[in-house]
Amino acid sequence: MTTNSKPKFAMYWAASCGGCEIAVLNTHEVILDVDANFDVVFWPVAVDTKYKDVEAMEDGSILLTLFNGGIRNDENEHIAKLLRRKSKILVAFGSCACEGCIPGLANLCPVGELVHTAFNTLTTDNPHEIYPRITFDVPEGELHIPKLEKVLRPLDHVVDVDYYMPGCPPESHQIAAVIDLVVKVLKGQAELPPKGAVIGVGDSTVCDECPRARNVKSINTFRRIQEIAPVDPTLCLLEQGIPCNGPATRSGCNSRCPNAGAQCIGCYGPDEGVLDYGARLISAFSSVIDAREPEEIERIPGRHPRPGGADLSLQPGGVAAEGEQGSMAGKMRLCANRSVHLLHERRMT
C-alpha cells in the first residue's frame, strides 16, 4: 500500500464477471491519468491490497470507489459496507451493481437449486453429492467461505450510492470521460453532478444513436435473430421482427450492438423518464405490428422465450379474461399488468 498524497482510488468486484474491470483497463492511455492523479489503494484485479489494509484506512479517506457487481454473498455485503464507510464518492459501476444484470437472473431460482446445478448435474462428476460448506475444519484451523444470500441485490439495496454508471460493461470512452471529469473536479475546473445522477451516459435512447434505417413500420412476426438469414445490415432490427430494446434504453454506447448486427438487450437501463421499462418496450414493439384482427394479434408475437422463461408479451394492459391465461393475449396482458404492479410496489416502498 502506498502513502503518497494523491487522492485515493479504489475499485472492487462483487458478484460480477470481470468485464467491468477489463473495460477500465481498456481505456488505453487514460489509465495513465488514473495513475497520475490517484493513489490506487484497493483494486483486487490490479493491486495486492488486503481487506485488513482497507479496514485500517480512515473513514472517508478514499475519494473515489468504482464498485462493480451485485451483492450475492456475505463477503460482498461486508466489503460494500466497508467501502461505503471509507469512500467519499461511491459509484455503482456497471449494470450488475446498478440493477443486478446477468447475475441477477439467478434470482429466478432458489439458492439450493443454484448450488445443486453448479455442483451436481450431468456436467459435474459428484457421485458422493459433496457440496460446499460455509465452514470446514482442517488441521491448520477452520476455513470459511462466503455464504450465499437468498437473492442478489443491487448495490443501493445495501448501502447509500452517490452515482450510477450503467452498461455491461460501461463503454470505455464513457469511463474515460468520467475519469476526465473527476480529474477536472480535482483541479477545480468542473463540478460534480448532483448526488444520485446517472453518469457516463447519453441523454436519449439507443435508437437515437443507431444508424439503421426505420421505414417499414409493420411486421407480421417476431423471430429470434438466428432464425433470420440474412439479417438486413442497414434496416432497423425491430422492423425485421427482432425484438430490440433500443427504443426504451438509455443511450451512451453508440448503439454498439445494432451496429454489430445484434439487438440491444438494454444493458444501459431505461432511458431518462421511463418509469416502467417493460411497459415502454411493449408499447414500442406493439407499434410495429401490422395487425387489425384479434386472431392476427394472437399470432404475430409468437412464442419468444426470454431469459426468465416468460413469453414475449405485447398486448397493451388489462387483466387477462377468465380462460385466456394460457393464451398469448392473456400472457401479454398479464405481463403488462405485472409491470404496473411492480411499478406500484416500487412506489409504495
Q: Can you give the binding site for ligand SF4, defined by CB under 6 A?
A: 16-17, 19-20, 68-69, 94-96, 101-102, 168-169, 206-207, 210, 212, 214, 236-238, 244, 246-247, 249, 253, 255-258, 264-268
Closest CB 250 distance from ligand SF4, rounded Å: 7
Q: How far, in Å, CA of 208 to CA of 108, rounded?
A: 32
Closest CB 65 distance from ligand SF4, rounded Å: 15
Cis link prior to 169 (omega < 30° from 0)? yes
Which parts of the chain fold into alpha helices (H)?
Answer: 19-25, 30-37, 51-55, 74-86, 95-99, 101-104, 111-119, 172-186, 206-209, 256-259, 277-287, 294-299, 328-348
Please identify, using beta-carbon distances, which residue of 166 and 330 lies nearer to ligand SF4: 166
Q: How far, in Å, CA of 142 to CA of 160, rounded?
A: 33
Please identify, using beta-carbon distances, which residue of 186 and 235 lies nearer to ligand SF4: 235
Q: Could you give the maximum distance between any two Cα atoms of the chain, in Å?
A: 73
Query: Angle formed by the axes of helices 328-348 and 277-287, to 10°?
Result: 150
Please identify, using beta-carbon distances, which residue of 22 and 321 lies nearer to ligand SF4: 22
Q: Which residue is nearest to ligand SF4 (CB)?
A: 246
Please identify, using beta-carbon distances, which residue of 245 and 315 lies nearer to ligand SF4: 245
Q: How far, in Å, CA of 300 to CA of 246, rounded?
A: 20
Please identify, using beta-carbon distances, which residue of 200 and 266 lies nearer to ligand SF4: 266
DSSP, residue by residue, 241-263: T----GGGBBP-S-SHHHHTT--
Closest CB 85 distance from ligand SF4, rounded Å: 23
Closest CB 155 distance from ligand SF4, rounded Å: 12
Closest CB 244 distance from ligand SF4, rounded Å: 3
Q: How far, in Å, CA of 248 to CA of 244, rounded?
A: 9
CB neighbours of residue 331 within 10 Å? 21
Closest CB 281 distance from ligand SF4, rounded Å: 10
Please identify, using beta-carbon distances, which residue of 183 and 249 lies nearer to ligand SF4: 249
* Amino acid type, 76: N
Closest CB 165 distance from ligand SF4, rounded Å: 10
- Cell 473536479, residue? 185
Please identify, using beta-carbon distances, which residue of 65 and 255 lies nearer to ligand SF4: 255
Length of the chain: 349
DSSP, residue by residue, 16-82: S-SHHHHHHHTTTTHHHHHHHH-EEEEBTTTB---HHHHHTSPTT-EEEEEEESBEEEHHHHHHHHH
Please identify, using beta-carbon distances, which residue of 54 and 257 lies nearer to ligand SF4: 257
Closest CB 64 distance from ligand SF4, rounded Å: 18
